[in-house]
């Protein structure tokens, strides 16, 4: 199995042809920055060196990022075609085990092997990026920060890749409520590399959580020149839409939905969940959005498969519920009860099924039932994954459920709790109460 060289960040890499290494580096750079085309870059790397084991593993990772049954199937085929790990080096062994664990549904085991890869060499940018993303999928907020903080000492500012690591650190800080330092780190990362979409995303979260909507809108407009062509762009536009929603500029929210968020009708789960979440929020504030919901439901129906990630299925239930297709929501619940496996099954049993049933009940008008279920789920919802901003839709729905169920004192207490942490949301929260019956 080939010789050993180093990647762009100085980490040992087993290669059969040095021509494949810079192409592999480009693929990792594209993944870390959420820009470019990592799929095309890794295919080019394999075209130059089919013995580049880490390129095969990265190709599998990229399929797994789809969080779909098809993605898992493709990843397994790639990994099954690779031979055992007796003739490859430690870095390759650990990544191969991480990818195989993820593909088998054991997401926690995957993070274990990636942590070991980072102990082997803290400058393994691929291990760091995939580890933090998996912790994000798992809702393990403290680990989001810890994994980046620990690796950060190995990346002085003059070293290539420092900006990406600082951007990951910024996001970990933000998710743990360290907003001031998160903003400092995100801005430092962007000064180093303006096209780092993850760092822009971290700063967008800071503005969201601090209720700085006007600043957030200005930042997104100014920075979009660097990330508008990214495969992560829809999510950044979603963040801008949230600012406008809090300001009750519904026309601008729907303009963003019809334009950069949903204009291309992507069927990637990354994009579908943003569209679903945004329409659900809009429906809480204004009511009827049938035409958009039915179109989105048709697109989602075309890609729903066996349960892989309950965070996705939660958003499926949102859309089918808004569209009045309650039998499909029940099918999603039944599928998760019967066929969820691995880490996803653990999460489903812990809180995921309760959350899905709560949202389904809300859509069906069973408001007392929705309120009870969401109240029970609330302390544990981080386990379903996503960010604090994404899970905030649960707080909004809980207020709406209490209002619709006639529990005015409870609804107003929940609303006061929300406004206490986000004073700028007072007007939007009052509108939420009013529209839903208080």
Chain mean pLDDT for the chain: 96
Residues 101, 110: contact at Cβ < 8 Å? yes
140-to-183, 387, 388, 410 alpha-carbon distances in Å: 21, 10, 11, 29
Average pLDDT over residues 325-338: 96
Q: What is the topology classification, in CATH, of domain 140-233?
A: 1.25.40
Q: Is pLDDT above 70 for 13?
A: yes
Task: Classify domain 265-438 by CATH number.
Answer: 1.25.40
Query: 3-state SS of 413-426?
Result: HHHHHHHHHCHHHH
Q: How many CA atoms lie within 13 A of 67 on its CB side?
A: 22
- List, for residues 180-195, the tens digit of each pLDDT value: 999 999 999 999 999 9
Q: What is the mean pLDDT of residues 91-100?
A: 97
Residue ranges per structural domain of the chain: 1-133, 140-233, 265-438
d(CA 33, CA 38): 10
pTM of the model: 0.96
Give yes or no on whether 140-233 and 265-438 have one common fold. yes
> Which tokens is 244 given?
């406008």
Question: Whole-angstrom Cα distance, residue 312 to residue 102?
Answer: 17
35-52: average pLDDT = 96
Please give the pLDDT value at position 188. 98
Model confidence at 45: pLDDT above 70 = yes
Q: What is the reported pLDDT for 438?
A: 81
- The pLDDT of residue 287 is 76
**Cα gap 136→34, rounded to integer Å:** 15
Q: Where does 1-133 sit in CATH, by number?
A: 1.25.40
Q: What is the pLDDT of residues 404-423, one digit of tens each?
A: 999 999 999 999 999 998 88
pLDDT band at 386 (very low <50, low <70, confident <90, very high): very high
Exposure of 108 in the CB half-sphere (CA atoms within 13 A): 10
Q: How confident is the model at residue 2 (pLDDT cuts 50, 70, 90)?
A: low
Q: What value does the mean pLDDT take over residues 275-291?
A: 91
CB atoms within 10 A of CB 305: 13
Q: pLDDT at position 83, please?
A: 78
Q: Tell me: pLDDT of 430 over 80.
A: yes
> Which pLDDT belongs to residue 186?
98
């Amino acid at each position: 199995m080939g010789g050993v060289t180093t990647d762009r960040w100085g980490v040992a890499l087993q290669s059969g042809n040095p021509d494949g290494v810079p192409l592999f580096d480009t693929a990792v750079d594209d993944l870390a920055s959420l820009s470019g085309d990592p799929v095309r870059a890794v295919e080019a790397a394999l075209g130059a060196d089919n013995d580049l084991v880490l390129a095969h593993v990265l190709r599998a990772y990229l399929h797994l990022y789809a969080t779909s049954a098809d993605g898992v199937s493709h990843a397994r085929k790639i990994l099954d075609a690779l031979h055992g790990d007796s003739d490859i080096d430690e870095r390759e062994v650990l990544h191969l085990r991480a990818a195989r664990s993820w593909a088998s549904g054991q997401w926690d085991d995957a993070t274990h092997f990636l942590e070991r890869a980072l102990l082997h060499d803290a400058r393994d940018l691929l291990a760091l990026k995939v580890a933090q993303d998996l912790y994000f999928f798992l809702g393990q907020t403290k680990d989001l920060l810890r994994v980046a903080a620990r690796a950060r000492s190995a990346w002085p500012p003059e070293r290539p890749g420092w900006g990406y690591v600082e951007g990951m650190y910024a996001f970990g800080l933000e998710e743990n409520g360290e907003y001031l330092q998160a903003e400092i780190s995100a801005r430092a990362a962007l000064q180093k590399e303006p096209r780092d979409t993850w760092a822009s995303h971290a700063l967008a979260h800071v503005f969201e959580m601090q209720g700085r909507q006007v600043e957030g809108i200005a930042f997104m407009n100014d920075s979009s020149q660097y990330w508008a062509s990214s495969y992560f762009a829809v999510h950044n536009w979603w963040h801008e839409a949230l600012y406008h929603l809090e300001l009750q500029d519904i026309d601008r929210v729907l303009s963003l939905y019809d334009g950069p968020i949903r204009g291309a009708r992507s069927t990637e789960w990354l994009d579908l969940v943003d569209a679903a979440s945004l329409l659900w929020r809009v429906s809480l504030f204004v009511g009827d959005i049938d035409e958009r919901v039915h179109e989105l439901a048709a697109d989602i129906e075309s890609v729903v498969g066996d349960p892989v990630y309950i965070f996705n299925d939660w958003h499926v239930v949102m859309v089918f519920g808004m569209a009045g297709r309650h039998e499909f929501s029940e099918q999603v619940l039944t599928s998760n009860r019967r066929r969820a496996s691995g880490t996803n099954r653990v999460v489903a049993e812990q809180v995921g099924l309760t959350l899905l049933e709560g949202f389904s009940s809300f859509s069906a008008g069973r408001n007392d039932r929705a309120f009870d279920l969401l109240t029970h789920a609330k302390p544990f919802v981080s386990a379903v994954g996503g960010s604090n901003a994404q899970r905030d839709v649960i707080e909004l729905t809980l207020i709406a459920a209490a209002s619709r169920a006639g529990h005015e004192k409870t609804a107003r207490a929940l609303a006061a709790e929300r406004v206490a942490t986000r004073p700028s949301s007072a007007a939007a929260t009052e509108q939420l109460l009013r529209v839903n019956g208080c």
